[in-house]
Amino acid sequence: MKVSIKRFSEEFIYYSSQLFVFFMVTILMTSGSLSMGITSSAFVLFFMLIQTVLLAGYGHIPVLRFIFSFITPLGYTILRAATSSMNFFETTNVLLWCAAAYLALFQTISLSVKRPFIKQTAEAFLSIGSAVIFFFFYYYLDKRINLTSALAKGQLSATEYEEAIKITHFFSGIKNFTSSSQHLFALMGILSFDFMLLAARIRTIGLRNRIDHLIEERSAEPEAADVFRQYLPVKRDAPFRQLVSVISSDIVGFTELSEQLGPRKAAAFLNKYYALWAHAAGIQGGRIISITGDSLIVMFGLADESLNADRALAAAYIFLDNLGGLQEDLSADGFQSELSISLGVHSGMVVSAQLGPPDEYKHAVFGDTLAVAARLDSLCRELHQGILVSHSTFRRLSLESQATLDRVGEILLRQSTRPMPVYSRKQ
């Protein structure tokens, strides 16, 4: 099993952010001694790390995600049974098992179903439930601290303390707790944060659904040659030159990715990659003119040369901002690494002509502009950038578009004696 650090950290935060902090603090502050608290926390942390590794490696399989979600509660139960007289209905134990069961159930539902509405509903329950779980642990931490303090001062007997921390008395003080303005403020902060995460998840699910619809509609669209032809000037059979902006796009490490996914899943992923580009380019009036495996060329300015640089950059941003849907698909198929796409954007003249073998002529374009865009695309890896924009494109951009870019260096292109500045998106 190979698990990337990024995938591990995402899984750790996704599973643990709702309860891990307060759970560990509860153990540390209510274990009777600092050494016991550290030992107990380390033991539970060990089980949490095992669970996170397994979820990061196999969590895309619904049944395994459900089963592995209970490793940490099991570890805590074992700890309690080994160090004290185990009472399963002690509140910390019940909260941990219930929280794990709730998260596991709705994460499994979200993974298992295909319909966007059900996925979105499951994500909504996850978000709301996570906020409630977080607040319950916050409330219980406050209650345990007060009870432990009362026990130390002799205001409670050991028997009364053990009774007070049972789940049957969990809600006994929640009315006074929620009447505090600072606690209500904390609850509002928790809800706001969870709803922001929910909005991002819903947007990703909606994008994946749109991509699926685009793929389904491809069979009803005209052939690529006909789509290309309708953007050419009428009655221009002779070759002619025109100013365009070109995006060259590649999937970094696609060979490794395709080997891990297998032929069927790799082909399905490529179709979604093409559909996302068709969506992003179509919004800005661009068209995919060439596809070779994971490499494609998108062109702007076939019908109207004005503003083609701005439209190309806007399409590139739309594509990059919506990569989350493709990453979700890869994670669901067990691919743990982060999806990386390289983009090169360049503006210049191309020649448009009827090209091809006899009786198979098609409208196509050629010129050094395409080669420069491809070169920028490949340089993204060397310069550690996701997108590189040429100076030729930069000087044709509006001031608003230029403000989104930073100069990252200079490159020397083939048949050129002067270095050319290149730009990348501001972080």
At residue 343, the pLDDT reads 94
User: Is 0.85 topped by the overall pTM?
Assistant: no
At residue 248, the pLDDT reads 94
At residue 231, the pLDDT reads 46
At residue 49, the pLDDT reads 85
Do the Cβ atoms of 390 and 345 come closer than 8 Å? yes
**Strand 240-251 vs strand 405-411: parallel, antiparallel, or unpaired?**
unpaired
Helix 181-217 with 324-332: angle, nearest 10 deg: 80
Domains of the chain by residue range: 5-212, 230-425
At residue 222, the pLDDT reads 43
Which CATH architecture fits 230-425?
2-Layer Sandwich (3.30)
At residue 393, the pLDDT reads 93
Q: What share of the chain is helix, strand, coil (3-state, %, to 5)?
A: 65, 15, 20
Tell me which residue has tokens 């899943």. 265
Displacement of CA 375 from its chain's centroid (Å): 28
Handedness of CA 101, 103, 104, 109 (dihedral sign): positive
**Strand 420-425 vs strand 405-411: parallel, antiparallel, or unpaired?**
antiparallel
Mean pLDDT by 10 residues, the chain (427 residues): 69 62 63 70 83 83 88 85 72 84 87 77 79 80 82 84 81 81 74 68 62 54 44 55 90 85 85 87 87 90 78 92 76 71 92 74 79 91 90 91 90 75 90
DSSP secondary structure string, 267-279?
A: HHHHHHHHHHHHH
What are the E-state strand segments in 145-284? Answer: 240-251
